[in-house]
Amino acid sequence: MTTSSAPGKVYLFGEHAVVYGEPAVPCAIGRRARVTVEARDDARLRVDSKDLTLDGFTVTYGEAAGTEVNVPQSLVEAATGYVDEAVAQARDAADAPDAGFNVTIESEIPLGAGLGSSAAVVVAGIDAATRELGVELPPEELADRAYQVERDVQDGQASRADTFCSAMGGAVRVEGDDCRRIEAPELPFVVGYDGGAGDTGKLVAGVREIREQYGFAADTVEAIGDIVRHGERILAKGDLDELGRLMNFNHGLLSALGVSSRSLDTMVWAARDAGARGAKLTGAGGGGCIVALDESDGARTALDYTPGCEQAFRAELDTEGVRVE
């Protein structure tokens, strides 16, 4: 039996634009998905999946199928698709096409909320399964195989950002296939969660449609890339005030592309009004989470009392990526 864990992430800058080759800077946070894998004597797959939202739900399928969910069925189907493809990658890496597994997933990361839950589960799942079969993959290969999983499940619309960040930890810069860790100061993240979840595939497709329809929307995507390029220089200097201002710009552009929501905007403004240096949605949008930059208790306290915010929590930068538990 082998257990591996991998961190979730927030986007400091660059979501959606990264799909079109622009750079992005995601940062790993101290909320993890843990995947336990036990080899079976047959080729079957049994998965017990719990706590993929902060409220929690369980999905068991394979030998004994059944579901009890409190999120949209499309997200459940996506979650099981990620697990299936992760197992396929592990079998391929270990040259064990008939390997069977009992898999248990425990996650502190809400599903579909913009915190990289699928990437963390996939990275940890591939690592645990390959180790259970006697193969240890370097984190770079884990990141690449996990990206192949996300690309397949998301119909080719994934980027390498989430999976590379989850595998490597810390702050990373992703631009197309160019992925690397970058230096970052301590980043005092506060996350607000509205209890919902966006449909990544639909949101990405929506941005693609508006980008193809309007030239200024394509310019908006490029402007997000410009924010990232400026932001990584500011990150190296550790200027949190300027980072916050750039986060605010980034949120405005994402809102213009139609991927924010009333609940996300409400949480963003509550955090800013409480003194956060900056705040923005994180991930695909449509619901889920915002991230604020605030070392005080102001933003978290404000979010606790904001209508539509189900939970607020501090999530410091996690410099460690995938690991064996």
Q: What dotted CATH number matches 189-314?
A: 3.30.70.890
Sorting pLDDT into bands at 50, 70 and 90, what band is 324?
very high
Residue 22 — pLDDT band, cuts 50, 70, 90?
very high
Inter-axis angle of helices 240-256 and 262-273, nearest 10: 160
Q: How confident is the prediction for the chain on average, in pLDDT?
A: 88
Q: Where in the chain is the domain with CATH 3.30.230.10?
A: 2-183
Where does the chain hold its CATH 3.30.70.890 domain(s)? Answer: 189-314
The pLDDT of residue 27 is 97
What 3-state class would DSSP assign to 121?
A: helix
Indicate if the pLDDT at residue 160 is higher than 80: yes
Percent of the chain topping pLDDT 90: 68
Is 162 an annotated catalytic residue? yes
pLDDT of residue 110: 79
Share of the chain above pLDDT 70, in %: 90
Three-state secondary-structure class, residue 312: strand
User: What is the arithmetic mean of pLDDT over 77-97?
Assistant: 84
The SS3 assignment for 101 reads strand
pLDDT at 84 over 90: no
H helices present in 94-214, as ranges: 117-132, 139-153, 161-168, 200-213
Q: Tell me which of 162, 194, 294, 318 is the catalytic residue.
A: 162
Angle between helices 117-132 and 73-93 (to 10 degrees): 30
Give the H/E segment covering residue 292: strand 289-293
Antiparallel, parallel or unpaired: β 101-107 and 25-39: antiparallel
Q: In Å, how far from its chain's centre is CA 276?
A: 22
Least confident of 15-24, 103-112, 212-221: 103-112
Name the band, by pLDDT with cuts 50, 70 and 90, for residue 62.
Answer: very low
Map 6-50 to HEC letters: EEEEEEEECCCHHHHCCCEEEEEEEEEEEEEEEECCCCCEEEEEE
* Cα angle, residue 159 at apex, residues 256 and 318 outer, rounded to 5°: 95
Comparing CA positions, the residue from 194, 155, 187, 148 lying closest to residue 171 is: 187
Nearest to 311 by CA among 105, 31, 75, 69: 31
Hunting for tokens 């929307």 — which residue is that? 217
Average pLDDT of the segment spanning 72-78: 55
Give the mean pLDDT of 96-125: 88
* Cβ atoms of 116 and 162 closer than 8 Å: yes
Q: Taking the complete model, does pTM exceed 0.85, yes or no?
A: yes
Helix (H) or strand (E) holding 287: none
**Domain spanning 2-183: which CATH class is it, in words?**
alpha beta
